[in-house]
């Protein structure tokens, strides 16, 4: 029993002894850590002078180990006398490796020392060192006294480079002076003034002055003083007007090493930033450079291995949920859960949880997540299905609204099914026109806007987007589709298809590159001179296309808006008749249709305007205007011309009957030999312009006559003796245009139809 008790006592003893040993080791380690933290100087150099630490690159004397200078450079050499640290003869109070040094700097003063003879004594304070710059952010310049002013001057090569200062004045009235007690603690201009210090001042001198030599001062024994002091280092008191209780004031200076910036100093052999985890930084003073430890490291970057990893875990500067979760990493730390636990080990992440509990929580989260995803997918699917049904119903609505049922019915009744149109969907045409970008607009008309587009097979097309139409205009749109679906002619623009799924209907045409005949004839600078041969060919091709519409199509088609703006030219200059928005089908048992008058001013058939009866001869009249345009290269109507010439057709017919045709028709020198052809086409144009439709030729006749003139071009007359006879024959034909029964002499040969044209009121033209 005693033996067992003895063994227990020994175990307790050894346990206590082990705890003591461990505690001693911990104390030694902490002591070493503290020593390492304090030891900021070179080996063998003084670390402290009194209470002030001396970090390298500053130093005192030479190393006791190797005899080398303890400072990096001469300007940073200090001396320690009677436990006080000095730079030169100025006391140093504190040194920061962030590039600042605090010193006790002298006050400049001027004082009256002998009252009887008025003698004064003045002394100036100065600091002459290139390594120190007065901190402009950490200091103020002050002057204290009555009738006092002071200067702070920076010198370069013994010459003043910049100066600042301030003035303070007191009133002689004693009551006012006593009231100044309320200004204690404030340097506001009465008895004390202060100013900011300009940046980068070094090698400074401070001088105090007095205005009145103390003759008006309430205390003739007082002094006027000026000094630099760190922010918060001085509080003004009225008593200081009698005597300032100090001759030195704490001042902050900026320091740096070297004489060049980082980018230059890095390549020098005496580069100061030698610690592995240090970097170079240019100081605000603009002189030399500073060394600093990288983020996450601390210590002295001017020493080898001087920047050490900051112990975030030991110092408690981490955000881990518990201290045991914290693990040091180079320059930082990380929060990790211990074995058997999972989760986010940070404060923000909720900490670590036991695996089993975490697994249950994870299952709950996963289950909830899956449920939410399933709910979201279900709702999204339902929404998409509803949206799809809505879009389909909307497309169906637009299809019916835009006359799709009518179009489908009419296309099903056409005789030639090979000419049925292609139905495009809205997505195809949106993609082709970049969602109908306004930059792709190539034309606008009375029935819509035309966009240039590129289909998925790289085919360039023209897409006509009709205006928003009402029920009465739907039939016009469907009419154009029906008409163009039956046409297959090289001089008529080809309809490729249509789209009725959008709010406004769309037509897809072949793209005709070279614009309209109107632009070709009238736009200045767009083209050069248009030869007679080219104009005659254009007229012949356009007449052939209209003749086809009138007589060769399965159902006769009246274009209803023939004009040069609706005649396009392709890459080869070939004619393409376009824009059938106003066109009408003519039933086989009718020759005329009663309609609302539509057309373009200057091209509109006068008979159609008055009667409202649309016939094929209405297109003939409009084509006659086109012929006159081709002959004269003038617009059909212009207010820029004189009154008798404003109507081109009237002026043209008058010139023709007066045998002055070539005063109106523009011909060039090379066209002189074609005058007989021009005369023949001019007479044909005049016949087309007859006021009564029954007297006009049909489009088929017009096309045949123009083709005959074209053949005459290929087989010109070679016998010049026929020219005069032919001219006489053509003039006779021109005169025969006059009304029947008119056999009066030359004075009465004026073209009656032209006279009647003057009486027609054209109104607004459409």
The model's pLDDT over 716-728, given as tens digits with 9 standing for 90+, comes to 543 343 444 444 4
User: Does the pLDDT at position 187 exceed 70?
Assistant: yes
Domain at 389-511: CATH architecture: 2-Layer Sandwich (3.30)
Least reliable range by pLDDT among 85-99, 182-196, 346-360, 510-524: 346-360
The pLDDT, as a whole number, for residue 152 is 94
Highest mean pLDDT among 108-112, 149-153, 649-653: 149-153
- Token pair for residue 352? 């670590």
User: Does the pLDDT at position 55 exceed 90?
Assistant: yes
User: Does the pLDDT at position 27 exceed 70?
Assistant: no
User: Does the pLDDT at position 4 exceed 70?
Assistant: no
Least reliable range by pLDDT among 134-138, 173-177, 220-224: 173-177
Count the Cβ atoms, other than its own, within 10 Å of residue 515.
16
The pLDDT, as a whole number, for residue 420 is 64
The pLDDT, as a whole number, for residue 743 is 32
Least reliable range by pLDDT among 90-99, 251-260, 326-335, 497-506: 497-506
The pLDDT, as a whole number, for residue 156 is 81
Highest mean pLDDT among 252-256, 335-339, 520-524, 650-654: 252-256
DSSP string, 184-239: TT--SSSSEEEEPPPTTB-SEEEEEEESSTTTT-SSTT-EEEEEEEETTS----GG
User: Does the pLDDT at position 640 exceed 70?
Assistant: yes
Q: To the nearest whole percent, how much of the chain has pLDDT over 70?
A: 75
For the purposes of burial, counting CB atoms within 10 Å of the CB of 108, is it exposed (0-12), middle (13-18) or buried (19 or more)?
Answer: buried
- Mean predicted confidence (pLDDT) in 118-127: 72
User: Does the pLDDT at position 215 exceed 80?
Assistant: no
- Mean predicted confidence (pLDDT) in 107-133: 74
Least reliable range by pLDDT among 178-182, 289-293, 345-349: 178-182
Least reliable range by pLDDT among 91-95, 293-297, 643-647: 643-647
Least reliable range by pLDDT among 27-31, 286-290, 459-463: 27-31
Question: What's the rounded Cα separation, in Å, for the pair 609 and 603?
Answer: 11
Q: How many helices (H) and strands (E) does the chain have?
A: 18, 38
- The residue ranges of every structural domain in the chain are 100-255, 389-511
For residue 763, name the pLDDT band (cuts at 50, 70, 90). very low
The pLDDT, as a whole number, for residue 536 is 92
683 CB-side CA count, 13 A: 20
Highest mean pLDDT among 83-87, 307-311, 480-484, 667-671: 83-87
- Mean predicted confidence (pLDDT) in 9-27: 48
Question: What's the rounded Cα separation, in Å, for the pair 668 and 762?
Answer: 34
- Mean predicted confidence (pLDDT) in 717-743: 41
Query: Shortest CA distance to 581 belongs to which of 605, 602, 557?
Result: 557
Contact between residue 731 and residue 724 where contact means Cβ atoms under 8 Å apart: no
Rg (CA), the chain: 54
Contact between residue 550 and residue 575 where contact means Cβ atoms under 8 Å apart: no
The model's pLDDT over 356-409, given as tens digits with 9 standing for 90+, comes to 665 677 778 888 888 899 999 989 899 888 888 888 888 888 887 777 777 777
Q: How high is the mean pLDDT of the chain?
A: 79
User: Does the pLDDT at position 51 exceed 80?
Assistant: yes
The model's pLDDT over 670-693, given as tens digits with 9 standing for 90+, comes to 667 788 888 999 999 999 999 888
**Residue 713, SS3 per DSSP:** helix
Question: Could you tell me which residue, 526 or 60, shows the higher pLDDT?
Answer: 60
User: Does the pLDDT at position 157 exceed 60?
Assistant: yes
**Orientation of helix 616-632 relative to helix 675-688, angle to 10°:** 150
Contact between residue 91 and residue 103 where contact means Cβ atoms under 8 Å apart: yes
User: Does the pLDDT at position 704 exceed 60?
Assistant: yes
The model's pLDDT over 499-542, given as tens digits with 9 standing for 90+, comes to 888 888 888 888 988 888 988 888 755 555 778 888 999 999 99
For residue 100, name the pLDDT band (cuts at 50, 70, 90). very high
Secondary structure element (H or E) that encloses residue 344, with its range: strand 341-344
User: Does the pLDDT at position 214 exceed 60?
Assistant: no
Residues annotated within the binding site for ATP are: 465
User: Does the pLDDT at position 131 exceed 70?
Assistant: yes
Full-model pTM: 0.46
- Mean predicted confidence (pLDDT) in 135-162: 88
Phi, psi of 212 (to 5 degrees): -105, 5
- Mean predicted confidence (pLDDT) in 89-114: 90
> Residue 337 gets which letter from DSSP?
P
- Mean predicted confidence (pLDDT) in 264-283: 92
The model's pLDDT over 416-442, given as tens digits with 9 standing for 90+, comes to 555 567 778 888 898 999 999 989 998
For residue 30, name the pLDDT band (cuts at 50, 70, 90). very low
Question: Could you tell me which residue, 177 or 328, shows the higher pLDDT?
Answer: 328
Integer CA distances (angstroms), 350 to 106, 335, 357, 358, 368, in order: 58, 12, 14, 12, 19
Count the Cβ atoms, other than its own, within 10 Å of residue 89.
8
Question: Could you tell me which residue, 245 or 401, shows the higher pLDDT?
Answer: 245
The pLDDT, as a whole number, for residue 414 is 61
User: Does the pLDDT at position 259 exceed 80?
Assistant: yes
**Residue 177, SS3 per DSSP:** helix
User: Does the pLDDT at position 150 exceed 70?
Assistant: yes
| 570 flagged as catalytic | no
Query: Shortest CA distance to 624 belongs to which of 682, 569, 545, 664?
Result: 682
- Mean predicted confidence (pLDDT) in 151-156: 90
For residue 254, name the pLDDT band (cuts at 50, 70, 90). very high
User: Does the pLDDT at position 587 exceed 80?
Assistant: no
User: Does the pLDDT at position 122 exceed 70?
Assistant: yes
The model's pLDDT over 529-576, given as tens digits with 9 standing for 90+, comes to 778 888 999 999 999 999 998 887 667 788 888 999 889 998 888 999
The pLDDT, as a whole number, for residue 732 is 45
Question: Could you tell me which residue, 413 or 508, shows the higher pLDDT?
Answer: 508
The pLDDT, as a whole number, for residue 16 is 54
Residue partners of 119: CB distance under 8 A and separation at least 6 = 112, 113
Highest mean pLDDT among 19-28, 425-434, 594-603: 425-434
The pLDDT, as a whole number, for residue 734 is 41
Q: Which residue has the tokens 């039933």?
A: 587
Residues annotated within the binding site are: 465
Query: Considering 561, 579, 605, 619, which one is annotated as catalytic?
Result: 561
């Amino acid at each position: 029993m005693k033996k067992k008790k003895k063994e227990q006592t020994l175990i307790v003893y050894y346990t206590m002894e082990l705890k003591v040993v461990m505690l001693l080791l911990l104390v030694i380690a902490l002591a070493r850590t503290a020593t390492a933290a304090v030891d900021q100087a070179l080996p063998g150099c003084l670390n402290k002078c009194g209470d002030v630490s001396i970090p390298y690159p500053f130093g005192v004397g030479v190393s006791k180990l190797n005899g080398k200078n303890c400072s990096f450079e001469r300007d940073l050499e200090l001396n320690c006398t009677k436990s006080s640290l000095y730079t030169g003869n100025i006391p140093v109070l504190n040194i920061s490796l962030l590039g600042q040094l605090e010193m006790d700097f002298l006050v400049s003063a001027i004082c009256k020392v002998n009252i009887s003879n008025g003698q004064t004594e003045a002394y100036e304070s100065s600091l002459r060192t290139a390594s120190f710059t007065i901190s402009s952010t950490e200091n103020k310049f002050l002057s204290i006294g009555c009738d006092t002013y002071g200067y702070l001057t920076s010198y370069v090569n013994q010459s003043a480079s910049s100066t600042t200062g301030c003035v303070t004045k007191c009133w002689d009235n004693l009551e006012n002076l006593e009231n100044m007690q309320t200004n204690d603690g404030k340097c506001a201009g009465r008895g004390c003034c202060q100013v900011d210090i300009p940046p980068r001042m070094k090698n400074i001198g401070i001088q105090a002055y007095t205005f009145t030599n103390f003759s008006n001062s309430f205390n003739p024994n007082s002094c006027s003083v000026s000094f630099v002091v760190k922010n918060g280092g001085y509080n003004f008191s009225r008593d200081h007007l009698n005597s300032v209780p100090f001759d030195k004031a704490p001042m902050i200076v900026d320091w740096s090493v070297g004489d060049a910036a980082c980018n230059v100093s890095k390549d020098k052999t005496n580069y100061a930033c030698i610690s592995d985890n240090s970097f170079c930084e240019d100081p605000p003073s603009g002189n030399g450079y500073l060394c600093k430890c990288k983020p996450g490291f601390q210590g002295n970057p001017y020493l080898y291995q001087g920047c050490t990893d900051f112990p975030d875990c030991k110092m408690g500067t981490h955000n881990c949920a518990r201290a045991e979760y914290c693990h040091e990493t180079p320059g930082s730390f990380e929060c990790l859960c211990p074995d058997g636990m999972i989760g986010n080990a940070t404060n923000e992440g909720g900490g670590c949880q036991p695996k089993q509990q975490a697994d249950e929580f994870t299952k709950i989260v996963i289950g909830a997540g899956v449920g939410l995803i399933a709910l979201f997918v279900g709702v999204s699917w339902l929404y998409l299905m509803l949206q799809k049904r809505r879009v389909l119903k909307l497309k169906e609505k637009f299809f019916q609204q835009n006359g799709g049922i009518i179009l489908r019915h009419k296309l099903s009744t056409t005789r030639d099914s090979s000419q049925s149109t292609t139905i495009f969907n809205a997505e195809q045409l949106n993609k082709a026109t970049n969602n109908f970008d306004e930059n792709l607009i190539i034309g606008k008309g009375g029935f819509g806007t035309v966009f240039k587009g590129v289909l998925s097979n790289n085919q360039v097309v023209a897409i006509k987007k009709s205006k928003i139409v009402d029920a009465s205009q739907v039939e016009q749109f469907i009419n154009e589709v029906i008409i163009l679906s039956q046409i297959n002619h090289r001089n008529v623009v080809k309809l490729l298809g249509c789209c009725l799924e959008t709010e406004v209907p769309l037509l897809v045409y072949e793209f005709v590159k070279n614009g309209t005949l109107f632009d070709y004839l009238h736009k200045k600078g767009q083209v050069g001179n248009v030869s007679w041969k080219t104009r005659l060919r254009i007229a012949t091709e356009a007449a052939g296309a209209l003749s086809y519409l009138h007589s060769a199509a399965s159902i006769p088609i009246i274009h209803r808006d023939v004009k040069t703006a609706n005649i396009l030219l392709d890459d080869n200059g070939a004619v393409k008749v376009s824009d059938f928005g106003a066109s009408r089908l003519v039933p086989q048992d009718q020759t005329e249709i009663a309609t609302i008058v539509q057309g373009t001013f200057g091209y509109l058939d006068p008979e159609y305007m008055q009667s409202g009866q649309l016939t094929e001869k209405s297109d003939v009249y409009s084509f006659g205007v086109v012929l006159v345009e081709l002959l004269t290269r003038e617009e059909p109507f212009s207010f820029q011309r004189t009154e008798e010439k404003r109507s081109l057709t009237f002026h043209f017919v008058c010139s023709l009957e007066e045998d002055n045709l070539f005063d109106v028709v523009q011909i060039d020198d090379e066209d002189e030999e074609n005058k007989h052809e021009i005369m023949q086409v001019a007479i044909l144009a005049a016949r087309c312009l007859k006021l009564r439709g029954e007297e006009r030729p049909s489009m088929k006749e017009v096309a045949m006559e123009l083709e005959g003139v074209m053949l005459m071009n290929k087989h010109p007359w070679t016998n010049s003796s026929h020219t005069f006879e032919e001219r006489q024959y053509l003039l006779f034909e021109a005169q025969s245009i006059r009304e029947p029964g008119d056999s009066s002499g030359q004075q009465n040969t004026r073209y009656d139809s032209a006279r009647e044209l003057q009486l027609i009121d054209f109104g607004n033209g459409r």
